[in-house]
Structure formats: C-alpha cells, structure tokens
Structure 1
Amino acid sequence: MTKATDIRTKSADELNEQLLQLKKEQFNLRFQRASGQLENTARVREVRRDIARIKTILGERTRSAQPAS
C-alpha cells in the first residue's frame, strides 16, 4: 500500500509509470482470481485503492494548474 504523502512527492511521469504498473498487476490479479490461483485476495483491494490514490492526486494537480473559469 502506498501512502498519499509518498505519492505526492513523485513527479507526474513517475506517477503515470506507477499507474501503468499497477494496472498491469490488477490485470494479472484478475486472471489469477478467475482461475483460482490467487492466494492473497487482499492485494486486489490494495492495488485498486493505490490506483485510485494516484488518479486522485494527478487530477488534483491538473485542476490546480488550470486557472479558475
């Protein structure tokens, strides 16, 4: 699990790279769960929430960079 404070210290490129890795992991976990090979079921939840954290922080950055209209 990644802390939001750790995510905020990273650049946008690093966050996009981490987001891509997490989405790949989520894809693999989904297949493992479907085939009955998934041992750590809590990891699915952790990955989903880490993806949400990264997307939230990236969204905050884009909204704060845009002028209010």
Structure 2
Amino acid sequence: MPATKTDFRGMSDEQLALSLKETEKTVFSLRFQSASDRKETATELKKAKKDIARIRTLQRERELTKLKALPADQLATRVASLGEKDKAGGPGKRLVRRQLRRVEALHAKATAKKGSK
C-alpha cells in the first residue's frame, strides 16, 4: 500500500530513497501488467507515479535546505566544481548548468549577507 504525503515527510533521507526504488519497481511491474491487458492497473499506475513525484519533490526540498545552510566558502567550492563540469560538457550538461545557476545565486546571496554584516 502506498504511503501518504505525511508518511513521506516523516521519513529519513535513506527511507525516502528506498521508498523511491520500491515505487519505481512497482511502476515498472504495473506498466508490464498494463501491456498484457490487465485493466485495473490504470489507477494504481497513476497513484504510483504521483508517489514518485512526491518523493522526488521532498528530496529536492531537503537538498535545497542543505545548500542554503552552507557557508559562502563551501558554496564557492561547489560553484567551481560545477563550472569545471560545465566546461567539460558531456551528458547531463543541462542539469549541470541548472545546478550551477542555482548554486551561483545562493552564493551571491550568501556573500551579500556576509558583506552587509
């Protein structure tokens, strides 16, 4: 039985990762069952996909919270490493560029706060 929204919020990061893997496996098996003409999987598949989206959203919220808590010097290090990945190119370059823009914005805010103190 899928967990509810509040159940996901109460989980640790490790539990969320495990729940995500389980739900992705469920989606895979439901797709297979749907392809073999089992009719009642449509709502189950929709619920499982929504659970995956909820879990990924929570993981991203937690990641952003951790990033916002980092000091400016650690953010600068992260900006530098993402900049190197961006220059190297390769697969996933759009994701790297998005991450770089976000971390640069957080770094700018952190240095502005540091400078105003």
TM-score, with length taken from structure 2: 0.55
Runs of 4+ in 1 over 6 A off after TM superposition: none
Q: Which moved more, 1:35-44 or 1:10-19?
A: 35-44
More helix by share: 2
In structure 2, list runs of 5 or more residues that go unmatched: 69-105, 108-117
Q: Residue 34 of structure 1: CA displacement?
A: 0.7
Question: Residue type matched to 1:34 in 2?
Answer: A
Q: Write the deviation string for residues 18-51 of structure 1: whole angstroms up to 9, x where unpaired.
A: 0000000000000111110242420010000000
Residue identity over aligned pairs, in percent, reads: 33
Distance (Å, rounded) in 1 between the aligned partners of 2:39 and 2:25: 15
CA distance in 2, matches of 1:28, 1:35: 11
Match in the other structure for 2:66:
65
1:55 — aligned with what?
56
Q: Give, in whole Å, the separation in 2 of the partners of 1:13 and 1:44.
A: 24
- Letter paired with 1:49: K
The residue type equivalent to 2:9 in the other structure is: R
Tell me, yes or no, if the aligned pair for 1:29 and 1:38 is still in contact at 8 Å.
no
The number of residue pairs the alignment matches comes to 69
Q: Equivalents in 2 of 1:48, 1:55: separation in Å?
A: 11
TM-score (norm 1): 0.90
Matches within 5 A, 1:14-33: 14-33=15-34
Larger Rg: 2
Tell me how far apart the structure 1 counterparts of residues 21 and 39 of structure 2 sit (CA, whole Å): 21
RMSD: 1.3
Amino acid at match of 1:52: A
